[in-house]
Amino acid sequence: MSATTTDRADLLAIVTGHSRGLGEGIAQSLLERDVPVVGIARGGNASLARRFGKTLTQVTLDLSDPVAIERWLSSGVWKQGLELAGTVFLVNNSGVLQPIGPLQTQDPADVARAVAVNVGAVLMLSAAFVAATMEVKERRILHVSSGAGRKAYAGWSVYCATKAALDHHARAVALDATPRLRISSLAPGVVDTAMQAEIRATTTEHFPDKERFVTMKRESRLKRADTTGSAVVDFLLSDDFGSEPVSELPALR
Ligand code: NAP
Protein backbone atom coordinates (compact mmCIF):
# COMPACT_ATOMS: atom_id res chain seq x y z
CA MET A 1 0.00 0.00 0.00
CA SER A 2 1.42 3.35 -0.97
CA ALA A 3 1.23 5.99 1.77
CA THR A 4 0.58 8.67 -0.85
CA THR A 5 -1.83 7.11 -3.31
CA THR A 6 -4.34 5.28 -1.09
CA ASP A 7 -7.82 6.78 -0.77
CA ARG A 8 -7.94 7.84 2.87
CA ALA A 9 -11.73 7.61 3.07
CA ASP A 10 -11.23 3.90 2.67
CA LEU A 11 -9.02 3.53 5.78
CA LEU A 12 -9.82 3.19 9.47
CA ALA A 13 -7.51 2.67 12.44
CA ILE A 14 -8.18 1.59 16.01
CA VAL A 15 -5.41 2.79 18.32
CA THR A 16 -5.29 1.87 22.00
CA GLY A 17 -3.68 4.26 24.47
CA HIS A 18 -4.13 7.37 22.29
CA SER A 19 -4.50 9.56 25.41
CA ARG A 20 -0.77 10.27 25.75
CA GLY A 21 2.76 9.16 24.95
CA LEU A 22 3.55 7.02 21.95
CA GLY A 23 -0.12 6.19 21.32
CA GLU A 24 -0.88 9.90 21.02
CA GLY A 25 2.00 10.23 18.55
CA ILE A 26 0.68 7.31 16.48
CA ALA A 27 -2.92 8.58 16.52
CA GLN A 28 -1.79 12.11 15.64
CA SER A 29 0.27 10.91 12.70
CA LEU A 30 -2.62 8.84 11.33
CA LEU A 31 -5.04 11.75 11.73
CA GLU A 32 -2.59 14.14 10.04
CA ARG A 33 -2.63 11.74 7.10
CA ASP A 34 -6.45 11.86 7.06
CA VAL A 35 -6.84 8.32 8.38
CA PRO A 36 -9.87 8.23 10.73
CA VAL A 37 -8.95 6.93 14.20
CA VAL A 38 -10.94 5.23 16.94
CA GLY A 39 -8.89 5.86 20.10
CA ILE A 40 -9.38 3.64 23.13
CA ALA A 41 -8.12 4.55 26.62
CA ARG A 42 -9.40 5.31 30.10
CA GLY A 43 -8.70 9.02 29.57
CA GLY A 44 -9.47 11.10 26.49
CA ASN A 45 -7.20 13.30 24.40
CA ALA A 46 -8.57 16.84 24.38
CA SER A 47 -5.80 18.18 22.17
CA LEU A 48 -6.38 15.61 19.39
CA ALA A 49 -10.15 16.05 19.76
CA ARG A 50 -9.75 19.81 19.23
CA ARG A 51 -7.64 19.36 16.12
CA PHE A 52 -9.37 16.34 14.59
CA GLY A 53 -12.94 16.48 15.93
CA LYS A 54 -14.41 14.98 12.76
CA THR A 55 -12.04 12.06 12.27
CA LEU A 56 -11.23 11.06 15.86
CA THR A 57 -13.71 8.91 17.79
CA GLN A 58 -12.83 8.36 21.44
CA VAL A 59 -13.87 5.30 23.43
CA THR A 60 -13.45 5.23 27.20
CA LEU A 61 -12.53 1.68 28.13
CA ASP A 62 -10.38 0.16 30.86
CA LEU A 63 -8.34 -2.48 29.06
CA SER A 64 -7.44 -4.13 32.37
CA ASP A 65 -11.09 -5.23 32.64
CA PRO A 66 -11.83 -8.21 30.35
CA VAL A 67 -15.54 -8.11 31.23
CA ALA A 68 -15.77 -4.47 30.10
CA ILE A 69 -13.87 -5.30 26.89
CA GLU A 70 -16.19 -8.22 26.17
CA ARG A 71 -19.23 -6.02 26.82
CA TRP A 72 -17.92 -3.38 24.41
CA LEU A 73 -17.06 -5.95 21.76
CA SER A 74 -20.41 -7.69 21.99
CA SER A 75 -22.25 -4.35 21.69
CA GLY A 76 -21.30 -4.49 18.01
CA VAL A 77 -21.25 -0.67 17.70
CA TRP A 78 -17.49 -0.61 17.15
CA LYS A 79 -17.77 -2.91 14.10
CA GLN A 80 -19.90 -0.65 11.92
CA GLY A 81 -17.14 1.64 10.66
CA LEU A 82 -14.77 -1.29 10.28
CA GLU A 83 -17.08 -3.31 8.07
CA LEU A 84 -17.43 -0.38 5.66
CA ALA A 85 -13.72 0.43 5.34
CA GLY A 86 -11.40 -1.04 2.73
CA THR A 87 -8.22 -1.30 4.76
CA VAL A 88 -8.32 -1.41 8.55
CA PHE A 89 -5.65 -1.18 11.21
CA LEU A 90 -5.48 -2.24 14.85
CA VAL A 91 -2.61 -0.68 16.80
CA ASN A 92 -2.30 -2.37 20.20
CA ASN A 93 -0.30 0.32 21.96
CA SER A 94 -1.72 0.53 25.52
CA GLY A 95 0.74 -0.87 28.02
CA VAL A 96 1.85 -0.70 31.63
CA LEU A 97 5.25 -1.27 33.21
CA GLN A 98 4.26 -1.92 36.82
CA PRO A 99 4.90 -3.95 38.86
CA ILE A 100 8.64 -3.25 38.81
CA GLY A 101 10.82 -5.29 41.16
CA PRO A 102 11.59 -8.91 42.04
CA LEU A 103 8.79 -11.42 42.64
CA GLN A 104 8.50 -10.94 46.39
CA THR A 105 7.73 -7.23 45.90
CA GLN A 106 5.04 -7.71 43.26
CA ASP A 107 1.43 -7.15 44.29
CA PRO A 108 -0.59 -9.95 42.63
CA ALA A 109 -3.30 -7.43 41.70
CA ASP A 110 -0.71 -5.37 39.80
CA VAL A 111 0.54 -8.53 38.08
CA ALA A 112 -3.02 -9.36 36.98
CA ARG A 113 -3.54 -5.78 35.72
CA ALA A 114 -0.33 -5.81 33.67
CA VAL A 115 -1.13 -9.17 32.09
CA ALA A 116 -4.68 -8.01 31.33
CA VAL A 117 -3.62 -4.73 29.65
CA ASN A 118 -0.40 -5.87 27.98
CA VAL A 119 -1.58 -9.29 26.80
CA GLY A 120 -5.24 -10.15 27.51
CA ALA A 121 -6.72 -7.03 25.92
CA VAL A 122 -4.40 -7.28 22.91
CA LEU A 123 -5.37 -10.88 22.20
CA MET A 124 -9.09 -10.18 22.73
CA LEU A 125 -9.12 -7.11 20.45
CA SER A 126 -7.04 -8.84 17.78
CA ALA A 127 -9.42 -11.82 17.59
CA ALA A 128 -12.54 -9.64 17.48
CA PHE A 129 -10.97 -7.27 14.94
CA VAL A 130 -10.17 -10.06 12.48
CA ALA A 131 -13.53 -11.80 12.95
CA ALA A 132 -15.33 -8.50 12.26
CA THR A 133 -13.40 -7.74 9.07
CA MET A 134 -13.46 -11.00 7.11
CA GLU A 135 -14.96 -9.18 4.08
CA VAL A 136 -12.54 -6.24 4.25
CA LYS A 137 -9.83 -5.84 1.59
CA GLU A 138 -6.89 -5.75 4.00
CA ARG A 139 -6.32 -5.93 7.77
CA ARG A 140 -3.12 -4.94 9.58
CA ILE A 141 -2.40 -5.54 13.28
CA LEU A 142 0.52 -3.82 14.99
CA HIS A 143 1.46 -4.82 18.52
CA VAL A 144 3.62 -2.24 20.29
CA SER A 145 6.17 -4.54 21.88
CA SER A 146 9.52 -3.67 23.46
CA GLY A 147 13.18 -4.60 23.44
CA ALA A 148 12.30 -5.95 26.90
CA GLY A 149 10.35 -8.73 25.19
CA ARG A 150 13.59 -9.88 23.57
CA LYS A 151 16.19 -9.12 26.27
CA ALA A 152 15.61 -9.86 29.96
CA TYR A 153 15.99 -7.09 32.56
CA ALA A 154 16.15 -7.59 36.34
CA GLY A 155 13.09 -6.03 37.95
CA TRP A 156 10.98 -6.20 34.79
CA SER A 157 9.92 -9.86 34.86
CA VAL A 158 6.22 -9.08 34.32
CA TYR A 159 6.84 -6.46 31.63
CA CYS A 160 9.40 -8.68 29.82
CA ALA A 161 7.07 -11.69 29.93
CA THR A 162 4.08 -9.75 28.61
CA LYS A 163 6.01 -8.18 25.73
CA ALA A 164 7.56 -11.57 24.81
CA ALA A 165 3.99 -12.89 24.72
CA LEU A 166 3.07 -10.27 22.10
CA ASP A 167 6.03 -11.21 19.93
CA HIS A 168 5.12 -14.89 20.07
CA HIS A 169 1.46 -14.15 19.45
CA ALA A 170 2.43 -12.33 16.24
CA ARG A 171 4.66 -15.20 15.14
CA ALA A 172 1.90 -17.77 15.66
CA VAL A 173 -0.80 -15.60 14.04
CA ALA A 174 1.46 -15.16 11.00
CA LEU A 175 1.62 -18.97 10.68
CA ASP A 176 -2.20 -19.08 10.53
CA ALA A 177 -1.89 -17.32 7.15
CA THR A 178 -5.31 -15.70 7.61
CA PRO A 179 -6.41 -14.19 4.29
CA ARG A 180 -5.67 -10.47 3.86
CA LEU A 181 -4.17 -10.14 7.35
CA ARG A 182 -0.71 -8.81 8.10
CA ILE A 183 0.70 -8.65 11.63
CA SER A 184 3.84 -7.31 13.23
CA SER A 185 5.05 -6.93 16.81
CA LEU A 186 7.26 -3.85 16.86
CA ALA A 187 9.85 -2.63 19.38
CA PRO A 188 9.76 1.19 19.06
CA GLY A 189 12.99 2.03 20.94
CA VAL A 190 13.31 4.21 24.03
CA VAL A 191 10.70 6.99 23.84
CA ASP A 192 10.38 10.07 26.06
CA THR A 193 6.99 9.41 27.71
CA ALA A 194 5.42 9.07 31.15
CA MET A 195 6.59 5.44 31.16
CA GLN A 196 10.22 6.61 30.98
CA ALA A 197 9.58 9.05 33.85
CA GLU A 198 8.23 6.07 35.79
CA ILE A 199 11.46 4.15 35.11
CA ARG A 200 13.61 7.06 36.33
CA ALA A 201 11.47 7.31 39.49
CA THR A 202 12.08 3.63 40.37
CA THR A 203 14.66 2.70 43.00
CA THR A 204 17.86 0.99 41.84
CA GLU A 205 16.97 -1.79 44.26
CA HIS A 206 13.84 -2.55 42.25
CA PHE A 207 15.37 -1.82 38.85
CA PRO A 208 19.18 -2.16 38.74
CA ASP A 209 19.46 -0.80 35.16
CA LYS A 210 17.76 2.48 36.09
CA GLU A 211 20.93 4.60 35.71
CA ARG A 212 21.20 3.78 32.00
CA PHE A 213 17.78 5.35 31.38
CA VAL A 214 18.58 8.34 33.61
CA THR A 215 21.73 8.92 31.54
CA MET A 216 19.84 8.59 28.25
CA LYS A 217 17.39 11.28 29.38
CA ARG A 218 20.19 13.56 30.63
CA GLU A 219 22.02 13.19 27.30
CA SER A 220 18.80 13.80 25.31
CA ARG A 221 19.04 10.34 23.75
CA LEU A 222 15.34 9.48 24.18
CA LYS A 223 13.22 9.48 21.04
CA ARG A 224 10.38 11.98 20.78
CA ALA A 225 6.88 10.49 21.00
CA ASP A 226 5.59 12.46 17.98
CA THR A 227 8.42 11.60 15.57
CA THR A 228 8.43 7.99 16.77
CA GLY A 229 4.65 7.85 16.28
CA SER A 230 5.13 9.11 12.76
CA ALA A 231 7.84 6.49 12.08
CA VAL A 232 5.52 3.78 13.43
CA VAL A 233 2.81 4.94 11.01
CA ASP A 234 5.29 5.00 8.09
CA PHE A 235 6.00 1.37 8.97
CA LEU A 236 2.31 0.49 9.39
CA LEU A 237 1.42 1.89 5.95
CA SER A 238 4.48 0.53 4.17
CA ASP A 239 4.45 -2.27 1.63
CA ASP A 240 6.95 -4.08 3.84
CA PHE A 241 4.62 -4.20 6.86
CA GLY A 242 4.21 -7.74 8.17
CA SER A 243 6.99 -9.26 6.09
CA GLU A 244 8.46 -10.24 9.49
CA PRO A 245 6.15 -10.91 12.46
CA VAL A 246 8.67 -9.42 14.91
CA SER A 247 10.46 -6.19 14.09
CA GLU A 248 12.01 -3.00 15.44
CA LEU A 249 12.05 0.60 14.30
CA PRO A 250 15.26 1.75 12.69
CA ALA A 251 17.23 4.28 14.77
CA LEU A 252 15.77 7.77 14.74
CA ARG A 253 15.48 10.62 17.20
P1 NAP B 1 2.55 5.96 28.64
O2 NAP B 1 2.94 7.34 28.33
O3 NAP B 1 2.50 5.51 30.06
O4 NAP B 1 1.12 5.69 27.95
C5 NAP B 1 0.47 4.48 28.16
C6 NAP B 1 -0.85 4.47 27.39
O7 NAP B 1 -1.50 3.21 27.70
C8 NAP B 1 -1.77 5.60 27.81
O9 NAP B 1 -2.41 6.16 26.70
C10 NAP B 1 -2.79 4.89 28.70
O11 NAP B 1 -4.08 5.49 28.62
C12 NAP B 1 -2.83 3.48 28.11
N13 NAP B 1 -3.27 2.55 29.13
C14 NAP B 1 -2.62 2.21 30.28
N15 NAP B 1 -3.43 1.45 31.04
C16 NAP B 1 -4.60 1.32 30.36
C17 NAP B 1 -5.84 0.68 30.65
N18 NAP B 1 -6.05 0.04 31.80
N19 NAP B 1 -6.82 0.76 29.73
C20 NAP B 1 -6.65 1.45 28.56
N21 NAP B 1 -5.50 2.06 28.24
C22 NAP B 1 -4.51 2.01 29.15
O23 NAP B 1 3.49 4.92 27.93
P24 NAP B 1 4.21 4.92 26.49
O25 NAP B 1 5.65 5.00 26.72
O26 NAP B 1 3.54 5.85 25.56
O27 NAP B 1 3.90 3.42 26.07
C28 NAP B 1 3.11 3.06 24.94
C29 NAP B 1 3.49 1.66 24.52
O30 NAP B 1 4.86 1.66 24.09
C31 NAP B 1 3.41 0.64 25.66
O32 NAP B 1 2.89 -0.57 25.17
C33 NAP B 1 4.86 0.46 26.08
O34 NAP B 1 5.08 -0.79 26.67
C35 NAP B 1 5.55 0.61 24.74
N36 NAP B 1 6.97 0.96 24.83
C37 NAP B 1 7.36 2.16 25.36
C38 NAP B 1 8.73 2.46 25.41
C39 NAP B 1 9.21 3.77 25.96
O40 NAP B 1 10.46 3.95 26.04
N41 NAP B 1 8.37 4.70 26.32
C42 NAP B 1 9.67 1.56 24.93
C43 NAP B 1 9.25 0.35 24.40
C44 NAP B 1 7.89 0.07 24.34
P45 NAP B 1 -4.99 5.83 29.91
O46 NAP B 1 -4.10 5.99 31.10
O47 NAP B 1 -5.70 7.07 29.49
O48 NAP B 1 -5.92 4.67 30.04
Q: Model pTM?
A: 0.96
What tens digit of pLDDT does each residue of 140-162 get? 999 999 999 999 999 999 999 99
- Does the CB atom of residue 29 touch ligand 1 within 6 A? no
Per-residue pLDDT band for 8 (boundaries 50, 70, 90) equals: low
The mean of the pLDDT values for the chain is 95
Per-residue pLDDT band for 251 (boundaries 50, 70, 90) equals: low
Query: What is the percent of the chain with per-residue pLDDT over 70, rounded to a whole number?
Result: 95
* Distance (Å) from CA 117 to ligand 1 centroid: 9
* Distance (Å) from CA 5 to ligand 1 centroid: 31
Question: Does the active-site annotation cover 159?
Answer: yes
Q: Which residues contact 227 (CB under 8 A, 6 or more apart)?
A: 25, 252, 253
The span from the CA of 70 to the CA of 29, in Å, is 29
The span from the CA of 166 to the CA of 144, in Å, is 8
Q: Which of 19, 145, 157, 184 is catalytic?
A: 145
- Does the CB atom of residue 222 touch ligand 1 within 6 A? no
What tens digit of pLDDT does each residue of 52-85 get? 999 999 999 999 999 999 999 999 888 888 888 8
Question: Does the active-site annotation cover 163?
Answer: yes
According to DSSP H, which parts of the chain are helical? Answer: 21-32, 46-51, 66-75, 79-84, 108-115, 121-131, 157-176, 194-200, 210-218, 225-237
Question: Does the active-site annotation cover 126?
Answer: no
